[in-house]
Chains A and B, each alone.
Chain A
Amino acid sequence: MYQIKAKIIANRRITSRYYNLVIDAPQIAKFAKPGQFVNVCVSKGNEPFLRKPFSIYRIGPQNVRKKSKIELLYKVVGKGTDILTGNKTGDYINIIGPLGNGFVLPPKTNQKQQSEIILIGGGIGVVPLLFLAECLKNNRSLGVSVLVGIKSKEESFLIRDFNKLDCRVKVATEDGSNGFKGLVTKLLKEELGFGRSSSVCMSYTCGPSLMLEKVSKIAEKNKVPCQVCLEEYMACGIGACLGCAVKVKNGHFPGFKYVRVCKEGPVFDSRQVIWGE
């Protein structure tokens, strides 16, 4: 974990609401794992007051062994992300990372049929899944399928980098303007239907919490383990303030306890999470 004043390499506008931020952060790039995040100081003053957490989209440069850059992909939703868009190449930004526990990679397996992986992303939730997909593709001979749910074809850039990775990509749009018309959870049901789930050894998901809850239920029903990447309002990002609590099972407070999304998470085994409380 490092706090660094990092140089901005690029802050590219992808669409009016999505930006791609590349930061020179060798220490963080060296240790970052998929699913981990950085906590970014977006403001020089008091507005917005808190740092803002962002998942790591990937580390780079590509085809270079020694990674020195981290890449974020962010959606402009409020004051903090709006200020972030104003950053220019050469500016410095104060970030803390890498934070949290990332995804647990699937166990190495020799049985070829046992090695299907499914990633399910909703909107901007694809961010940590891309870094994960890169690791899965780089290190292992696994079959990786990616199911992505987006609003409409305007957000299709969210799947572009998965296509480049040579993953099997399926997209669902709410308006049917690209791929399947409907929800990504419907795609997942189809993927796992007709006994196909037996070849899937792990699923990973990130996106809106209602989607995560649905994905977890579908995965559990089909006996596919599922790792969910959660979001919660954060202040410190390092486990000190207890602000980012989420309810999980098996605690010593009859049947539950609160754990920190920033420290024990943001990735959890779906069966541990108590949804909606």
Chain B
Amino acid sequence: MNKKSFLFTDIAGIKMKNPVMVASGTFGYGEEYKELIDLDKLGAIVTKTITLKPRAGNPPPRIVETAAGMLNAVGLQNVGLDVFLKEKLPGLKKITSTPVIVSVGGESILEYVKITEALNKTGTIAGIELNISCPNIRFQKKNTKLKGGIIFSQDEKITYKLVSRVRKATKLPLIVKLSPNVTDITLIARAAEKAGADVLSLINTPLGMAVDVTTRKPALANITGGLSGPAIKPIALRMVWEVTNTVKIPVIAMGGIMNTTDALEFFMVKAAAVAVGVGNFINPQTPLEIVEGIADYLKRHRIKRLKDLSLLKGR
């Protein structure tokens, strides 16, 4: 059996040699990892979220370790659209043939649309991921008292409106990344699907906090931050399961995937692909080891395609 052909995955026209990607914000602009792993062996690379203008990011400390995970409040530091298009994207395309998916962020719907229009013209990217779930960018909704505003994907109507507008602006495969900081993620998932999203990806980080008892201060300068790592895997798995049972479009799953077994769990709840996040920090070989691991598992269990890897009935 040719490993290459049976792990090949086509998600809404994004053609990947395997279904293992790397998650936005954990893989820089790709080139940071080039000395440590063979980028060509990844399914796809999702770049750090870019915004229209460069963003300075939050003051330090920005990260702290927690039980089986870490909190981050990077604050979407990024080089901005111009430098991304001039330097980072061509630089990455030069060193790998792996599909590049560009993560897009913004403070208004218009900002998302503008970036999308600029990305249409590159001709080198495989798709766009709308990061409407970053806990560090807030949208001030009218008539709410919530301090600091809400995350776009915490509101069905805003999600629908934003995704529809971007959908009209591009023919590129459109991935919408959802936040777990909601009561019912299926409502948001449906809104994104109805608005024309080709793919959903989840989860972004649930909000958390840590206190340094020595200094009696919050561990992060930003006070709160997004939690990632094994600590969030059960939440991610539950949400992916809920969403794949609700929408028809494919789902890219992420949240605490550190090894093959973690990845398999997500495939068994019908994820179409998985993405490794902080796993890259602990062991940069993680995504490639998972590719090997999945291939072995399928062979051992005589399963032809990943699609056939669903949960069995009964208890």
Which chain A residues have a beta carbon within 8 Å of chain B's beta carbons? 1-3, 41, 46-51, 94, 96, 232-247, 251-253, 256-258, 277
Closest 6 CB pairs of A and B: A240-B28, A243-B63, A46-B68, A240-B32, A253-B56, A1-B35
Measured between C-beta atoms, what is the minimum distance from A3 to chain B in Å? 5
Give the residue of B35, B63, B283 whose beta carbon is less than 8 angstroms from that of A241. Answer: B63
Give the residue of A235, A251, A256 whose beta carbon is less than 8 angstroms from that of B281. Answer: A235
- Give Cα distance in the complex from A232 to B61, angstroms: 8
Whether B33 sits at the interface, judged by CB under 8 Å, is yes
Whether B54 sits at the interface, judged by CB under 8 Å, is yes
Give the residue of A3, A234, A241, A252 whose beta carbon is less than 8 angstroms from that of B36. Answer: A3
Contact present for A241 and B64 (CB under 8 Å): no
Using CB atoms, name the residue of chain A closest to B36.
A3
Name the interface residues of B23-48: CB closer than 8 Å to any CB of A: 25-28, 32-33, 35-36, 48
Give the residue of A47, A251, A252 whose beta carbon is less than 8 angstroms from that of B67. Answer: A47
- Give Cα distance in the complex from A243 to B222, angstroms: 12
Interface of B is mostly: loop
Contact present for B68 and A240 (CB under 8 Å): no
Contact present for A49 and B62 (CB under 8 Å): no
Whether B65 sits at the interface, judged by CB under 8 Å, is yes
Give the residue of A235, A242, A244, A247 whose beta carbon is less than 8 angstroms from that of B278. Answer: A235
**Which residues of the partner chain B approach A239 to less than 8 Å between Cβ atoms?**
28, 32
Measured between C-beta atoms, what is the minimum distance from A25 to chain B in Å? 15
Contact present for B63 and A46 (CB under 8 Å): no
Given A3-B284, A41-B283, A235-B70, check contact A46 B229 (CB 8 Å). Answer: yes
Using CB atoms, name the residue of chain A closest to B37.
A3
Measured between C-beta atoms, what is the minimum distance from B74 to chain A in Å? 5
Whether B103 sits at the interface, judged by CB under 8 Å, is no
23 pairs, CB–CB < 8 Å, chain A vs chain B: A1-B35, A2-B35, A46-B67, A49-B65, A94-B283, A233-B62, A233-B63, A235-B281, A236-B280, A238-B32, A239-B28, A240-B32, A240-B33, A241-B26, A243-B62, A243-B74, A244-B60, A245-B59, A245-B60, A245-B62, A246-B60, A256-B56, A258-B57
Given A235-B281, A240-B280, A241-B281, check contact A49 B68 (CB 8 Å). Answer: yes
Contact present for B27 and A49 (CB under 8 Å): no
Name the interface residues of B272-296: CB closer than 8 Å to any CB of A: 278, 280-285
Whether B19 sits at the interface, judged by CB under 8 Å, is no
Among A41, A236, A240, A253, chain B packs the most CB atoms within 10 A around the CB of A240
- Give Cα distance in the complex from A241 to B27, angstroms: 7
- Give Cα distance in the complex from A272 to B170, angstroms: 43
Whether B173 sits at the interface, judged by CB under 8 Å, is no
